[in-house]
Amino acid sequence: APAAAQEEMPCEFSVNVGRRNARAAGLKIFQTRSIPRMDFLVLFLLYVALVLIGVVMICVCSKTHYLKGLVRGGAQIFSYIIPECLQRAVLRLLHYLFHTQNYTFIILHLILQGMVYTEYTWEIFGYCQELEFSLYYLLLPYLLLIVNLIFFTLTCVTNPGTITKANELLFLQVYEFDEVMFPKNMSCSTCDLRKPARSKHCGVCNRCVHRFDHHCVWVNNCIGAWNARYFLTYLLTLTASAATLAIVSTGFLVQLVVVSDLYLETYVDDLGHFQVIDTVFLIQYLFLTFPRIVFMLGFVVVLSFLLGGYLCFALYLVATNQTTNEWYKGDWAWHPHVAWPPSAEPRIYRNIHSHGLWSNLREIFLPAAAHYERKKK
């Protein structure tokens, strides 16, 4: 053989060996897996139940008038079917979950996160190592998990900006009153304190919060001026974590199909004819062969879209220097044709607190109250 050919042979040989090893690993993974039909059925029913619970939670927690009307109509229908004692029990449960401070959703959050990462560590991580995935690529979800848990803890324990007698005068001078959403000389009937602009009394925590955004049941805390930066970072890392898990899981299944040449195989249909494996059959086969992995993949994909949508909304509020509370209250400003009394002048809400993207970002990560206090000193 020519010298050039002799030089190319070792490289070509190593590539072929690598491909054979990967294909052997893929076939080994498929061969060591049974097809637990009952296991898949149970997980599928559990998956459907979790999706339905999530939809119900979104409808209950949503501030959208259409969904509130839908929930109200559904409650009226069920009131004729469900016994009154069960209705009272459900109402007490909903009141406890969404209108009192409790650790239910924190525990649920940690359980779901633990289940997802347990499945990832137990199966996907080992299989991906057999298929020679990059170790840095496989360790990225763990890094995101650590960062996410740090900011999750900070969001839970940080004071969101509780207004007290001691700091009332300070908060009153931070933001300008717009005389529409936040008029001057208003007092909180519960706390007996003057209400600074952009503040709101939280009925769950029973306190007035500076630059109140919303009360988040997942962290059992209000989101205000002093912990909004932690909440935003927590939401960002949680979204990135779910998306990374979805990408790695999808990459594993695709690589497994490719290296095992499964897409080139045939099967016998109900009529006894040989058919080339199509996409539908392939997905069904993966469902039945890897039920836990595909279940987890479906969960993190749905979670990625939900969290990604909410993250975009949160970034929009940050960029425009609005809170969720202000966005919801100012929603009527998009409908200027309101029936006002003849003696009253129409008052349209305008956001007077936005001063450009970088100033708005600085206000989130350097809270206005702390900035004002340093300037005063």
- Return the ∠ at Cα 276 (arms to 271 and 277), rounded to 5°: 100
Q: Give the pLDDT score at 13.
A: 38
- Active-site positions read 216
pLDDT of 53 higher than 90: no
Question: Mean pLDDT across the stretch 357-369?
Answer: 86
| Residue 44 pLDDT > 70 | no
| DSSP per residue, 206-228 | TEEETT--EEETTTTEEE-TTTH
Q: Tell me which residue of 160, 169, 158, 157 sits closest to 103, measured CA to CA.
A: 157
**Domains of the chain: which residue ranges?**
101-331+352-365
Tell me the pLDDT of the chain averaged across its residues: 80
Residue 267: pLDDT band (50, 70, 90) is: low
Confidence grade of residue 242 (pLDDT, cut at 50, 70, 90): very high
**Which pair of tokens denotes residue 189?**
């009937």
Question: Is there a contact between 267 and 281 (Cβ–Cβ < 8 Å)?
Answer: yes
Sequence-distant (≥ 6) Cβ neighbours of residue 321 within 8 angstroms = 351, 353, 354, 355, 359, 360, 363
Tokens of 247: 């990408």
Both tokens of 323, joined, read: 């809170």
Tell me the two tokens of residue 175: 């933001």
DSSP state letter for 346: P
3-class SS at 21?
helix
Beta bridge partners of 215: 222
Its pTM surpasses 0.75:
yes
Q: What is the mean pLDDT of residues 14-43?
A: 56
Token pair belonging to 285: 């086969």
Interval 25-42 mean pLDDT: 56
pLDDT digits (tens, 9 = 90+) for 124-170: 999 999 888 999 999 999 999 999 999 999 999 999 999 999 999 99
Q: pLDDT-based confidence at 14, cuts 50/70/90?
A: very low
**pLDDT exceeds 50 at position 334:** no
pLDDT at residue 298, as a whole number: 87
Please list the helix, strand and coil fractions of the chain in percent, rounded to the nearest 5, in that order. Answer: 65, 5, 30
